[in-house]
Structure 1
Amino acid sequence: MATHSELRDFWERRLEKDWTESGVGYRALGRPFNTWMYKVREEVFLRRVGHLGLIDPSVLDVGSGTGFYVRLWERLGAADITGCDMTDAAVERLRARFPGHRFSRQDAADLDAFDDDAFDALSCMDVLFHITDDERYTSAIGEFARVLRPGGTLVISENCLQRPEQRGEHQVNRTLEWIAGTLDKAGFDLRLRVPMLMLMNAQVDASVPWRKTWGGALRAATLTGPTGWLAGAALYPLERRLVRRRRESPTTELLVCRLRG
């Protein structure tokens, strides 16, 4: 398993070369397919977070990457948006893309640039399962609780396994029980857990035969840019229906939590 320094170097090199949806997303499936995948993520985020009724929130976006969710917070009317990322490659580009917002290089597990009780809402999307050290993960959740005001909203995406956890060099898929327990210990109440994707991502919480079969089919369908675009376009309408109708997902889910006062 990679150390924290190795992980930072990995993401620095990756985003330096590819600051796009594929750079921050499922890179093996290519940018055209990822573009369709992120359309689904966008719809889920805007629908679910938009329904929370947050009024002009002050927001911290942790692990901003390309600024995809910064843009969505803008659309939701956030009064003040601050972003951070662990890589210089992302922060430099984010400052140029969003000159009206503040960005700094910060690790999720150590948000020392930000004061206690500084934000009404915090998002950390597609980041936490890339923290391979459980202590750093727990520290990150603790930092989220520290910088949020009592009653504040935490929005994260996670792979909440109801099967045994899966550990890799750059990603750890943890169990729902462990994630929920970590959130609870930090003072968060888990209010909502819904699918963010269903078929357009790795089936990490499915049976091994299905996971391998579907993963192979996706990779085959996205071998080239044109076929990846067609595969994404074909799956997109089905994926939109599935994320609305299903309560749980075999892949990434959106979690909304409230910090206890």
Structure 2
Amino acid sequence: MLLAIDVGNTNMTFAAFSGRSLVKEWRIATSNSRTAEEYGVWLSQAMALDGLKLYDIKDVIIGTVVPGALFNLKGLCKRYFRCTPLVIGEDNVEIGMVPQIDNPKEAGADRLVDAVAAHSKYGGPTIVIDFGTATTLDVVDEDGNYAGGIIAPGVNLSLDALHSAAAKLPRIAVERPSKVIGKNTLECMQSGIYWGYISMVEGLVARMQEEYGTKLTTVATGGLAPLLARGTDIIDHIDRDLTLTGLVEIYHKNN
């Protein structure tokens, strides 16, 4: 089996694949200080609960936006899987497309991997909307190349900023409010976050399509994608496993 590891700023996802079929996935909070041994103990226990063993894993591919986590993940692969992982962004890994931006090295691994997955599953041109730590909107052109995009603060970052900077504003969960015009602090905050982000995404997608000159298929990913997609018709597809799909596609391009 293949183990695909997606390292985000907030969470890491470990997913076992047989061919291109997802077998099981597990999540853990992202940390730079977690050792290879700690990963090994946690992952062996998580896999055992699903009837899997560490020795079932034969190959590993890693996509990370947290460089500090990579050393110990490579140690995990060497010690427990007896393999050298493919790492997105390293010179020996072919992703199958050319970033059409000023400095290709600036493109985050997650954004490139999502572009590969979006073109593989939905064709092009496409806008990938990732509701993660940051909210990103990225264009994938007709040939599957990453063509640039937009980075905005993520939903939870905005909530943290409101709570931290305004003494009387509480920490709240992201929910769809029943009305746009709130009648109390909680409703006002929920409306501002929920409808505010939907309005932002709708406006940005419209401007991106106008600038690109044609209709672009929109694909949303990230944990909040299903909730936010219920408030707009601008999103054509919801794909929470988009990054994992891209990692698997890149693995097969290199094998």
TM-score scaled by length of structure 1: 0.32
TM-score scaled by length of structure 2: 0.33
Rg comparison, structure with higher value: 2
Q: Which has the higher contact order (CA 8 A, sep 6+)?
A: 1
